[in-house]
Amino acid sequence: MADGEDGSAADDSWFFDSLAHLTPEPPTKRTMCDRCGRPATVCLCPFLPRQPLQVSTTVYIIQHPHEETRVLRTVPLLAACLPPDRCHVIRGKRFKRGHHPELEQMLSSPHTYVLYPSEDALDIDQVAIATNPANQDPPPYNMVIIDGTWTQARDIYTANEIFHSPKQVKLSGTGVSEYVIRTQPTDNSLSTLETAAVAMAALERRPEIKEVLFAPLRALCKFQLECGAQPHQSKEYLKSRGLYKKPFPHHHNSECREVFKKTSHNSTGEAGL
């Protein structure tokens, strides 16, 4: 601050008073796409099917409430690819019998399967062979997928008996996840979108379902990597090379560890179980 002729500080209060009367301009909001929910500059609609993908399977995503606030989720992309009546997202942690009649009715159908790697889980490819004969229209499958971290998904399944009634199915031979912008628990873990895509393609014997649903996911990862994101390796990969120091949670006993390794459809922050 400059000094006046008498050696005192110049009165600059007029300057700050003038600033007080200025009206700040509102922040400019990014234009968002109504369909994919992404900023217009990185819109994924060119990678979505022009028309919703026609499938016989109805997917029910049982989503842990914490998933709704996470960034870079894949469930919105899955919903954008399918007709509205073929993808339902149900949020919650506790589902008591008698409180969810529509959900319970769906779970009582013989064509409903819960994707969860329990001891009694059937290989989904074998289920497809047994229930969907070649050259015939597939039955109206209902596929229930729990969306959350491994711990969240396990707790939802364990605490809610209504999910124990349908047959459990599991995926096998899925390969490494293409959702490379998030750290997966194991080398065989998949995001929720990948899980649904692989499951529907297997049940309906239509490999093209997987390719159509994977397209926006691949584009999402490409955009993020081009913007500076780093590709992630799974925790299993990092642990095997001594690069991941965080131990398994204490509640993961030997049985849970084995199930954790066998799981081929869950991801950190977004598990499709």
CB 203 within 8 A of CB 141: yes
How far separated are the first and last CA of the chain, in Å rounded? 64
CA 254 – CA 252 distance, rounded (Å): 7
CA 44 – CA 230 distance, rounded (Å): 20
Token output for 91: 């949020």
For 259, left (φ over 0), alpha (ψ -120 to 50), or beta?
Answer: alpha
Question: For 224-263, how does the pLDDT look when each residue is reduced to its tens digit (9 = 90+)?
Answer: 999 888 888 877 767 777 877 666 555 444 444 444 444 4
Block residue for tokens 């998933």: 67
Digits of tens for pLDDT over the chain (273 positions)?
A: 555 555 555 566 766 666 666 667 677 777 888 888 888 888 999 999 999 999 999 999 999 999 988 878 899 999 999 999 999 999 999 999 999 999 999 999 999 999 999 999 999 999 999 998 877 888 999 999 999 988 899 999 999 999 999 999 999 878 889 998 887 777 778 999 999 999 999 999 999 999 999 999 999 999 999 988 888 887 776 777 787 766 655 544 444 444 444 444 443 335 555
Question: For 86-106, how does the pLDDT look when each residue is reduced to its tens digit (9 = 90+)?
Answer: 999 999 999 999 999 999 999
CB 112 within 8 A of CB 106: yes
pLDDT for position 78: 96
Token output for 20: 């007080």
* pTM of the model as a whole: 0.79
Q: Which top CATH class is 52-227? A: alpha beta
pLDDT for position 260: 43
